[in-house]
Structure 1
C-alpha cells in the first residue's frame, strides 16, 4: 500500500500533527484498557482461564506502552514550544478528529476488538481490513498544497505513517531554520527516564533525541524495519491465533463480559445518541470511574506542564497518577464491566466510557493554585467514594487509595510552603 506523503512546511504543521498523535495514542490506550477490563476472571475451564489471564497481562502491558508513547509525544511537543495536552474527543470517533481510515470505538475483548487492534497496529504498507463495525464514511482529506499557512487534517492510514511524517518534517525544519530555532522548548520541561521511571523514556532536546523518541514509538507498535513479531502487532497476532484455536475447540467459549462503553450522560461532542447507563448502582460506579480517570489526566497535565516544582514534587505528581491508575481506575473499571448496563441494554454489562465532560485544557501555571485545585478535586472524589463505601468493597478500597493520594499531595504542598524544599529541589 502506498500512503501519501505528509506535508510539513512550518512549526504549526508539526504542532497540529503532534496533537493528533497525542489524541490517537490516548484513545488507543483507552481501547486496550477497555478490552482488558472486560476479560473474565472465572467461569471458564482451566485451559481457557490460563489463556485469558495471559491475554489480560499482554493487554495491560501494551496499554502501559501506549502510555509511554503518549508521554513521548508530550516531550516532543514541549521540545518545539507546544504545550502538551491530554484532552481528546469522546468515543466513538468515525469521521471527525482523524482521517476516515482511523476510527475508534470501545469494544469488549473478542473477534471484532482483535481485528481492530491488528488493523491499528499494522506496519506501514501492510494491507489489512478493519473489523466490520468500522466502515469508512468520508473521502480522505485533500493533500496540503505548497505554501498553505494554516495547519489542517492530513491523510495517514497507519500510526507508523503519521510518525514517519512527523520525523521527516522535523528533519526538514531543522535544515531550514536550524536546530536551536526548532527545538526552542526548555529542557527543564522534559520528562526524563528518572522522573517518569521508564528507561525507554527519551528527553527531547534536539533532532537526534526527537528521532529516537519517534523510533521508540514505531518500534514498539509495528516493529522496526519489518521485525513486527515482538511489537504490538505481533503480540496481538499471537493472541488472535490463540483465541481462534480455543474457539475452534469450544465454539461456546466467551472470554469476556459483554461490556458496553455506556455513558453517564450524552457526550457533548458526539452527534449520534450514545448508550446511557440505566442501573443506579452501576451509574454510581461509572461516575467514580470517570472521576478517577479525570484526576489522572489532571495529574499528568500538571506533571508535563509544571513550572517551579521541585523534583520531589514532580515525583509526588507522577506517583499519584500511577497509583490512581493502578489502584483506583483499574479495579473500578474491571468491576464496571461486570455490572448490568441497565434495562435499555438487556444482557449487556457496562464498561468505562472514559468520558470527557468538557474541552479539557491546562490549569493555571502558578504552582500553589494548581496544586490547590488538584487536591480539592481528589478530596471530592474520596468523599464521593466514601459515600458508597459501606455497601461496595471495591469502592471502599478505591476511597482509601484516593485519600492517600490526596494526603501525599497535601504533604508535599505543605513542605514546599514551609520552605523545607525550595523550587528546583534545593534546601
Structure 2
C-alpha cells in the first residue's frame, strides 16, 4: 500500500478544505438544472434534484464539523472556492466536466458521473496522475503534486485513513472548540442527521456517511438510513422507473417516472458574464445574482464559525435564490441563437465574511 498523503494536521486541514469545495461544487450545477424546469412540470425529477441539493448542504456541514474538530476554520468565501464552470471533478476516467446545464439527458448523465461509485482496483491505485490540461481537477491531492483521486469515494477513504494515522500519534488532534459543532437541531432535511464530531470515531462516521449517501460506496444502493444513494436516485431518471427494495442496480421495478425533456428553458450551458451584453438589464441581473450567491456563502461561513443557528436560514436562502434564477432562465440571451440566460456563479472576490 502506498504511504498516506496526509502526514500532519496541516495536510489534513488542506484535505478537508478541499472536501468543502468538492461538496459545494455540485450545488450550482444541481440548482441550475432544477430551476431550468418549467413550473408545474417534471415534478418527479424536480423533487429528486431538490432533495439531493439539500443533502449536499448536509455534507458541507458534516465536513465543516470535522474541520472545526481538528482546529481548522471553514471558509466558503475564499477566492477560488467556487470553481469556474465547466470544472473537472476527481474521476479516474477523466471523461467529463461539470457544467451549468439545463435539465436534460446530458445533465443527468453528468450527475450520475459525479456520484458514480468508483473503488480503485487496489489501494496503490487510489491516486492517479493528473494529465496536463488547462483546467485541473477540483480535488487534486493537496499534498501529492500532479496526482488526483480515482473517485470521490477514494478521496474520502484517504481522509478517513489519514485521520486514523494522525490520531494514533497525536492525542490532541481533536482540539477544536465544541461550541463550533453543528448538531442535528440545526438541520431538518430528513435525508440524514448532523453528526457532532469530537473524536476519531465520530469524524470517520461523518465522512463515511457522506461517501455512502453520495455514491453508495460501502453500503450498496442504500445508505445507512435506508435512503437511495444519490447515484441511484439519478439513475432512476435515466431508467424511467423508481427503485424498490430488492431491485438490481440496472433494473428498477417500481412505478414509472415521467419526464418531459422539452418542458425546460433552453439555458446556455456554462454561461459567463462575458456572454452578457455590456450595460444590459440581463447583465445587471446576472451580477446581482452572483452577489446574492456570495452572500449565501458568507452566511454559511458564519454558521460554520460560531453562529450555528444561521444554518437553517442558509438552507432557506439557497431556495430564495429562485427569483434570481427565474429572472435569468426565463429570458433569451441576446446573440445566443435562442438560448436563455443563466447564472454564472462568478462570485465577487471583495466580499468580507461577517
Query: TM-score if structure 1 supplies the norm length?
Result: 0.65
| 1:125, distance to aligned residue in structure 2 (A) | 2.7
TM-aligned CA distance change 1:237 to 1:339, over 3 Å: same
Q: Distance in 2 between the 1:57 and 1:156 partners?
A: 31
Contact 1:20 1:98 in 2 (8 A): no
Output one character per residue of 1:85-141: Cα deviation in whole Å (capped at 9) or x when no partner. Answer: 21414322546x9688474321211122111111111112389xxxxxxxx963899
Establish whether residue 26 from structure 1 lines up as the match of residue 24 from structure 2.
yes
TM-aligned CA distance change 1:205 to 1:234, over 3 Å: same
**Residues paired across the two proteins, number:** 313
- 2:266 is matched with 258
Q: How does 1:145-184 map to 2 (within 5 A)?
A: 152=145, 154-178=147-171, 181-184=172-175
Q: Distance in 1 between the 2:66 and 2:47 partners?
A: 29
- 1:341 is matched with 333
- 1:108 is matched with 102
Q: How does 1:5-404 map to 2 (within 5 A)?
A: 7-41=5-39, 49=41, 52-87=42-77, 88-94=81-87, 101=94, 103-125=97-119, 138=132, 152=145, 154-178=147-171, 181-197=172-188, 200-228=193-221, 230-242=228-240, 253-260=261-268, 261-265=270-274, 275-276=275-276, 280-306=280-306, 314-315=308-309, 317-326=310-319, 328-343=320-335, 345-358=336-349, 363=353, 370=354
Q: Which has the larger radius of gyration?
A: 1
Q: RMSD over aligned Cα, in angstroms? A: 3.3
Contact 2:16 2:67 in 1 (8 A): yes
| 1:320, distance to aligned residue in structure 2 (A) | 3.4
Q: Distance in 2 between the 1:234 and 1:282 partners?
A: 37
Segments of structure 2 that go 5 or more residues without pairing to the other structure are 122-129, 223-227, 242-257
The secondary structure found in structure 2 opposite 1:155 is: strand
Comparing 289-298 with 222-231, greater Cα deviation is found at 222-231
Q: Distance in 1 between the 2:44 and 2:259 partners?
A: 20
Q: Distance in 2 between the 1:217 and 1:157 partners?
A: 17
| 1:29, distance to aligned residue in structure 2 (A) | 1.4
Contact 2:45 2:259 in 1 (8 A): no
Larger helix fraction of residues: 1
Query: TM-score if structure 2 supplies the norm length?
Result: 0.78
Q: Distance in 2 between the 1:151 and 1:188 partners?
A: 33
| Structure of higher RCO (CA pairs closer than 8 Å, 6+ residues apart) | 2
